[in-house]
């Protein structure tokens, strides 16, 4: 991950932002608000991941298309019938609703990707380790399981290929399935063994038996308090401005967005703007050398 100014803020500041970004994404079903969340999430994700994040962003486009087009096949509510599929009406309202759900899913994936990059395990334990030590450790282990499994799977595949047991492109379906099952079995064994080792290690170190201290000391700065105030003000403006109502079925009814959309967009873009500000200051300082 590239150096990011917002990632260097206090964990409470990071947590408040992501709670608002993810919460608003789930609640607000207005198409413009969903589009703003997708654009802001993709922007910040690309700033964090760089070129490596392009695959994730581009991969969400076909997912969005599939989810949007499939929804009217199961949800037949609506008044404007575009055509029929297997005798069932394919309505415009259901298609719009599918696009809203798909956009919400894409935005959630982007924001959770940003969350995992910014709010690392040490920050999470710093926030909740003293309140809920056992649960916080469990959540950290669960959240880091998928990336760990991906890395371990690549290691297993590389090791099998090195000893001549890799899956070649000419292999048949049966051989590929058998190889995949062996990799899955190895991953399962590793995950179970790793969980036992981690539990024994934390128990032997007295985790949760006394007052916990943090490896890294986080202190609220003036910038953190300013960001918290900005998040609160913009979130309140988004809620109070209205214009977020949207209904898709059985009739299509979307409210005209007000100035709350600008406040919402500014809320979501604050981390990216902070990143851009730090990058600009860096280039200015370099040019003066």
Give the C-alpha separation, 73 to 251, whole Å.
Answer: 17
Q: Which long-range contacts (CB under 8 A, 24 or more apart) does 221-225 make?
A: 221/9, 221/10, 223/9, 224/9, 224/10, 224/12, 224/13
pLDDT at 2: 47
pLDDT at 229: 95
The candidate with the shortest Cα–Cα distance to 16, out of 119, 104, 107, is 119
Give the C-alpha separation, 257 to 264, whole Å.
Answer: 11
Those residues of the chain that have pLDDT short of 50 are 1-2
pLDDT at 101: 93
Instruction: Give the tens place of pLDDT for each residue, 250-267.
Output: 888 888 888 899 999 999
Give the C-alpha separation, 147 to 144, whole Å.
Answer: 6
- The DSSP string of 68-103 is HHHHHHH----S-EEEEETTEEEEHHHHHHHHHHHH
In terms of DSSP H, where are the helices of the chain?
A: 11-27, 31-49, 54-74, 92-118, 121-128, 133-143, 145-162, 173-204, 222-241, 260-287
Kindly compute the dihedral angle of the four CA atoms of residues 270, 271, 274, 275, in this order, to the nearest 10 degrees. Answer: -140
pLDDT at 195: 76
The domain spans of the chain are 1-121+217-289, 131-210
pLDDT at 194: 79
DSSP state, 1? Answer: -
Give the C-alpha separation, 18 to 107, whole Å.
Answer: 12
Contact by Cβ (8 Å): 72, 125: no
Instruction: Give the tens place of pLDDT for each residue, 134-170.
Output: 666 666 666 667 777 788 888 888 888 888 777 665 5
Give the C-alpha separation, 185 to 181, whole Å.
Answer: 6
- To the nearest 10 degrees (0 to 180), the angle between helices 145-162 and 173-204 is 130
pLDDT at 134: 63
């Amino acid at each position: 991950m590239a150096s990011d100014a917002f990632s260097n803020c206090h964990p409470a500041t990071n947590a408040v932002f992501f709670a608002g970004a993810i919460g608003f994404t789930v609640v607000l079903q207005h198409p413009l608000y969903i589009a703003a969340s997708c654009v802001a999430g993709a922007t910040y994700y690309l700033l964090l991941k760089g070129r490596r994040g392009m695959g994730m962003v581009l991969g969400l486009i076909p997912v969005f298309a599939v989810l949007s087009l499939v929804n009217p096949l199961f949800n037949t509510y609506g008044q404007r019938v575009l055509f029929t599929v297997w005798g069932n009406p394919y309505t415009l309202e259901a298609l719009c609703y599918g696009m809203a759900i798909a956009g919400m899913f894409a935005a959630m994936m982007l924001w959770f990707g940003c969350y995992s990059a910014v709010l690392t395990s040490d920050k999470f334990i710093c926030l909740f380790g003293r309140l809920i030590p056992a649960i916080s450790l469990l959540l950290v282990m669960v959240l880091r399981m998928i990336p760990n499994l991906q890395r371990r799977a690549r290691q297993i595949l590389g090791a099998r290929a090195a000893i001549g047991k890799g899956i070649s492109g000419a292999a048949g379906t049966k051989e590929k399935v058998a190889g995949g099952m062996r990799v899955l079995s190895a991953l399962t064994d590793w995950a179970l063994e790793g969980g036992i080792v981690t539990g024994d290690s934390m128990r032997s170190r007295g985790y949760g038996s006394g007052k916990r201290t943090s490896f890294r000391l986080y202190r609220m700065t003036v910038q953190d308090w300013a960001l918290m105030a900005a998040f609160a003000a913009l979130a309140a403006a988004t809620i109070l401005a209205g214009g977020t109502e949207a209904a898709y079925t059985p009739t299509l009814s979307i409210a005209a967005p007000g100035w709350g959309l600008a406040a919402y967009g500014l809320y979501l873009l604050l981390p990216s703007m902070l990143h851009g500000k730090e990058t600009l200051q860096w280039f200015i300082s370099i040019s003066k050398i």
